[in-house]
Structure 1
Amino acid sequence: MTQHTDVVVVGGGQSGLAAGYHLRRQGLDFVILDAEAAQGGSWQHMWDSLHLFSPAEHSSLPGRLMPAQAGETYPDAGHVVDYLTDYEKRYDLPVQHGTRVDAVRRNGERLLVEADSGTWRARAVISATGTWTRPFFPAVPGRGLFTGRHLHTVNYRSPADFADQHVIVVGGGNSGAQIAADLALDGNVNVTWVAQRPPRFLPNDIDGRALFDVATSRRRALDAGHTDTGGVASLGDIVAVPPVRAARDAGHLHAKPMFAQLSADGVRWDDGSQSDAEAIVWCTGFRPALAHLSPLNLRRARGHILTDGTRALGEPRLHLLGYGDWTGPASATLIGVGRPARDAAHEIAGSL
């Protein structure tokens, strides 16, 4: 059976919920289709020790401040899941969990959204599927030879899974630093951290609040035709959250240059030496999860779709939300997604 609505939102994580909040304020009929069986988006799958970069009051979706977490300056992932669950219920957002969208197609004046539970005809679609389901593994010589465990950020949970093992953590960004710190501070894991280039730690007083302000200022400058200041990337790569700071100050976070290739038992370095390892954790980023949009033939380099704000240039009935700065300044963050979600809802309401 085919159902009809004004807007289908694909994805019920933080971006989809922010979109729902603003669509409701615009008086539009909409549904949110979410592949996850439970509330909380990708936050329910994060590693055990993960904490936000920002205090709760600076990590909120539109309309509802995140409450502080007792005993924590920076809330953990479980607290975020609780907040998103409460947010969905508080605003009675029409989220259909456990519903996977397979394709979005043009269908005359409507877009046809094909899901495993049925089909929707919509006047507009907001894609808010994020990147968590598309982990990126770089092409490394010998990758198929390694007989140990290959994991990505999405598979890592805690140091307890690697007791008395040698683990190589690959990646010079926040995830790589945090997971390397988590393993090193445990004391029962031998950790080697590697990165393509020397990691750059942000000053200790820089957290998500400052990063959001920097990203927003950069976008305003670019929109005004001013010189690109480089934004967050000009400041550094890694937020010095307390565990990272502790591991760094204890001398545990000295990243080695990237190894030359993998072997059956570990890695080989440029000088020909070998390091055995039981596991490699690839903290090498993600790509946007946009397979459901393939029938629209909109994707360009690195999987991106050209946009004007959140609106797809090749399909004006489609908006993309929460994938990164190319869909709004800091739009992949809790605090950053509110503004582009509002803009998308306003634009959709105006077009309808």
Structure 2
Amino acid sequence: MSDQDTERLPSEPSPAKGDVRTAYKTDIVVIGAGQAGLSTAYNLSKLGLQPGRNFVILDKSPEAGGAWQYRWPSLTLSTVNRIHDLPGMQFADVVEEGATEVRASVAVPKYFAAYERKFDLPVYRPVTVKVVCDRGARLRVETDRETFSARGIVNATGTWETPVIPTYPGAERFEGRQLHTRDYRNAEEFAGQHVVIVGGGISALQLLDEISRVASTTWVTRREPQFRDGPFTQEDGRAGVAIVEDRVRRGLVPGSVVSVTGIPWTPALKAARERGVLNRLPMFSEITEHGVRWPNGTEQRADVILWNTGFRSSLDHLAPLQIREEGGGITMSGRLATQVSRDPRIHLVGYGPSASTIGANRAGGAAARELAAYLGLA
């Protein structure tokens, strides 16, 4: 039985109905309503495209806020790296300036929800995209609710759903707890325990600082962390983004911007150094029943291993489109490297050089303009 297309779009997601053959037709499907997805939707609207007709926005989360709504409670506006304004509306318009102790998991969703209302961006949620398939002139987007038929897609699913935990011998034998950054809630749950903290990024260092106040800690990283003494300038950021952009334009797996720019010495990190917390050790070689062991036989007993080992882009639903290169990367093109070279109907925002809040804003605008032009919509 062939698929049926309809121009009528649902006013809200309907309950899952099993094998539904009707596909709602639209020009563009935006997958994800975080910073990158909302920026894309805003720019599509500014081009004259009508939300609900020319494009739809699908979001897996039950409420506005993207991945921010799942961040740990101790991540406040005073400790978060930075929150950049979405285009057309300032964060300070919604969250009172100076409210530094407000949780980021509360403030940012409040801002995103207000943004969706102000610019009349109806987001269908909760809707999980299961798979995207090529259907010749169109792309079939199958979800756990409706099915959509689109001429192009902008994928803005970020990374929060796909945490990375590397494989180490003995991991299955460990009798303590193994957690990832996304599982972290607060330091108090580790009080009086010994926690091995793995990772050299900003999140790892923040959690190391917090946990070390109530528990004993061991900090390990694969590479020697690179700290920077001077302030982090816009030129530094652009230089880091340029390196990552070069990688994705060559079809390589993108590295993180912080691995290029280094970690700034914040007052909190300087205080942690004074407390003797930043005593970094190289990675252990195996995990034992009661802790970890290094190649020279040294062991450390531990109650918890906290993996701050990052995330990978949540792109599994795009696998049937075969956009990856043999080495696992995706060759990107376009002004800000958002367009998939193998299929210009597909744009990835929040991927590679745009995997930051300010990068996602710029990428959303570029993707909207380039895809609309490619499809003859603007």
Residue 14 (str. 1) matches residue 35 (str. 2): yes
Offset from partner CA, 1:31-72 (integer Å, 9 cap, x none): 111111111111111122223223x5xx11211222164243
Letter in 2 for 1:317: R
For 1:227, the equivalent position in structure 2 comes to: none
For 2:224, the equivalent position in structure 1 comes to: 198
For 1:111, the equivalent position in structure 2 comes to: 139
Q: 1:246 to 1:264 in 2, by over 3 A?
A: same
Offset from partner CA, 1:288-324 (integer Å, 9 cap, x none): 1111101111123564322112111111111111022
How many Å separate the matches in 1 of 2:274 and 2:37? Answer: 39
Counterpart contact for 2:160–2:311, Cα < 8 Å: yes
| SS of the residue 1:336 aligns to | helix
Counterpart contact for 2:73–2:103, Cα < 8 Å: no
Partner of residue 359 from structure 2, selected from 332, 336, 339:
336
Residue 160 (str. 1) matches residue 188 (str. 2): yes
| SS of the residue 1:315 aligns to | coil
How many Å separate the matches in 2 of 1:241 and 1:4? Answer: 50
The farther-off stretch of 83-92 and 37-46 is 83-92
The farther-off stretch of 70-79 and 263-272 is 70-79
For 1:79, the equivalent position in structure 2 comes to: 107
Deviation at 1:198, TM superposition (A): 1.9
Offset from partner CA, 1:140-193 (integer Å, 9 cap, x none): 111111111110111011101111111100011112111111111xx3211111
Partner of residue 45 from structure 1, selected from 56, 70, 75:
70
Letter in 1 for 2:359: G
For 1:215, the equivalent position in structure 2 comes to: 240
How many Å separate the matches in 1 of 2:369 and 2:99? Answer: 39
Counterpart contact for 1:52–1:77, Cα < 8 Å: no
Counterpart contact for 1:18–1:338, Cα < 8 Å: yes
| Count of aligned residue pairs for this structure pair | 334
The farther-off stretch of 96-105 and 295-304 is 295-304
Letter in 1 for 2:366: D
Counterpart contact for 1:69–1:75, Cα < 8 Å: no
For 1:266, the equivalent position in structure 2 comes to: 291
How many Å separate the matches in 2 of 1:86 and 1:253? Answer: 40
| SS of the residue 2:345 aligns to | strand
Letter in 1 for 2:320: P
How many Å separate the matches in 1 of 2:68 and 2:186? Answer: 15
How many Å separate the matches in 2 of 1:118 and 1:40? Answer: 22
For 1:249, the equivalent position in structure 2 comes to: 274
Give the TM-score normalised by structure 1: 0.87
Deviation at 1:74, TM superposition (A): 10
| SS of the residue 1:246 aligns to | helix
Partner of residue 145 from structure 1, selected from 173, 193, 201:
173
How many Å separate the matches in 2 of 1:245 and 1:166? Answer: 22
| SS of the residue 2:264 aligns to | coil
Q: 1:39 to 1:201 in 2, by over 3 A?
A: same
Q: 1:246 to 1:198 in 2, by over 3 A?
A: same
Give the TM-score normalised by structure 2: 0.82
| SS of the residue 2:305 aligns to | strand
Offset from partner CA, 1:262-299 (integer Å, 9 cap, x none): 00011112321221111100011111111110111112
Alignment gaps of 5+ in structure 2: 1-21, 249-255
Alignment gaps of 5+ in structure 1: 224-229, 326-330
